[in-house]
Amino acid sequence: MMKRLLIVIPSYNEETALPKLLNELKTTVFLNSFTVVPLVVNDCSKDKTELVAKHNGGNVLSLVNNLGIGGAVQAGIKYAKRHGFDYVLQMDGDGQHPPAEVNKLLQAALDTQADVVIGSRFLNKQGFQTSLMRRFGIKYFHWLNRLLTHKSIYDTTSGFRLMGARAINLAASYYPDDYPEPESLIFFSRAGLIIKEVPVIMRERQGGKSSIAGFSSLYYMMKVSLSSILSYVRKI
Amino acid sequence: MDLCRGTVSFSIWSEGLGILSEFLGVQVPTNLIFSALIFVILIYLLHLSRVNSKLQHQVTRLTQELAILNQRLETLEAEKQN
């Protein structure tokens, strides 16, 4: 039976990178048991993201308020739930995640029956690697995550992930706001979902700016630590 | 409301404040009023921030619903035109 996959691309001011990404998605050959629909979630961008996405044939969800990455992704997840998609794949709009790598996540989901599959930069050291500061942060989150979930996930901040039906249901009702990647993993693992990690090769961003940079990264770490610990103790 | 009642009753019965502060070990009675008020304000701030998060959550939900409905409307209109 064909499975339906929604590729959610949360985008904030990504007019430069989006056309290339959408065209690449059109030409990519996905595993043939999947029908793939791309969905750009325009998080109230100030540039022509919406126009560019529509022009390149993408479905677009346009948010009237800027919700941040968590809210944007959750909008995509709600869309998927309402339209009966079996899987949601989250992918950055800046071209860091090559569409060709999507198949690796799909294959892992089919093979292992995992509810969440994370595309990881670190399982084998290929492709674009991030800066020293970032690597330290990711190491720290690995430690924190292992402490809280007793699972060893290396790339907890990866925004390249596949969610199955159980994860979609959960995330549609609750999804963290600001920096959802590490926190949602704790949430998913507490709900008893199976989380798997597969190595993927990432590229350098093709345009746009990272949402985390410079001095704010320390603040980011503190904020995420606090919210991770809170999501460890909160009711689900 | 309790705050008003408290301050009014102490302005009528001013020795009461002295007795209360002595009981609580506060040397200057006005300081008792200040610290009590600061405590009340802090609690109120906490309450406001709770209200704020709830509202933010509601705005998020509305924004998402609106986007999904808009998209559906656009698809339906496009289908109708074809």
* pLDDT tens by residue, A147-160: 888 777 777 778 89
Structure-model confidence comparison of residues A131 and B29, the more confident one: B29
Min Cα–Cα distance to chain B from A116, Å: 23
How many beta-carbon pairs under 8 angstroms link A with B? Answer: 38
The A-side interface with B (CB below 8 A) comprises: 41, 59-65, 67, 71, 74-75, 78-79, 82, 177
pLDDT of residue A31 exceeding 70, the answer is: yes
Residue A117 gets which letter from DSSP? Answer: E
Give chain A's domain count: 1
Contacts of A67 in chain B (CB under 8 A): 60, 63-64
pLDDT of residue B1 exceeding 90, the answer is: no
Structure-model confidence comparison of residues B10 and A13, the more confident one: A13
| Mean pLDDT value across residues A12-33 | 89
Is A64 in contact with B64 (Cβ distance < 8 A)?
no
Which of B59, B60, B67 lies at the smallest CB-CB distance from A61?
A: B67
Q: Kindly report the CA angle at A126 between A151 and A128, in degrees rounded to 5?
A: 100
| Mean pLDDT value across residues A55-81 | 92
Q: State the pLDDT confidence band at A103, using cuts at 50, 70 and 90.
A: very high
Helix, coil or strand: residue A169? helix
Contacts of A78 in chain B (CB under 8 A): 64-65, 68
| Mean pLDDT value across residues A133-145 | 78
* pLDDT tens by residue, A172-200: 998 987 778 888 888 888 888 999 999 88
Min Cα–Cα distance to chain B from A199, Å: 32
* pLDDT tens by residue, A186-236: 888 888 899 999 988 887 766 555 655 566 777 878 888 888 888 888 776
Residue A114 gets which letter from DSSP? Answer: -
Give chain B's domain count: 1
pLDDT of residue A171 exceeding 70, the answer is: yes
Structure-model confidence comparison of residues B55 and A148, the more confident one: B55
| Mean pLDDT value across residues A42-65 | 89
Residue A123 pLDDT: 65
pLDDT of residue A141 exceeding 60, the answer is: yes
Residue B14 pLDDT: 78
* Domain that residue A56 falls in: 3-233
CATH of the domain at A136: 3.90.550.10
Residue A149 pLDDT: 80
Min Cα–Cα distance to chain B from A178, Å: 12
Name A119's bridge partners: A198
Min Cα–Cα distance to chain B from A93, Å: 18
- Region of poorest pLDDT, from A22-26, A103-107, A152-156: A152-156
Q: Taking each helix axis from N to C terminus, what angle separates A165-173 and A180-190, rounded to the nearest 10 degrees? A: 110
Q: Classify each residue of A159-180 as buried b or exposed e, where b means 16 or more C-beta atoms within 10 Å of its C-beta.
A: bbbbbbbebbebbbeebbbebb
* Domain that residue B61 falls in: 2-81
pLDDT of residue A126 exceeding 90, the answer is: no
Contacts of B67 in chain A (CB under 8 A): 41, 61-64, 75
Reference A22, options A8, A11, A38; nearest CA is A38
Is B71 in contact with A71 (Cβ distance < 8 A)?
no
Residue A32 pLDDT: 85
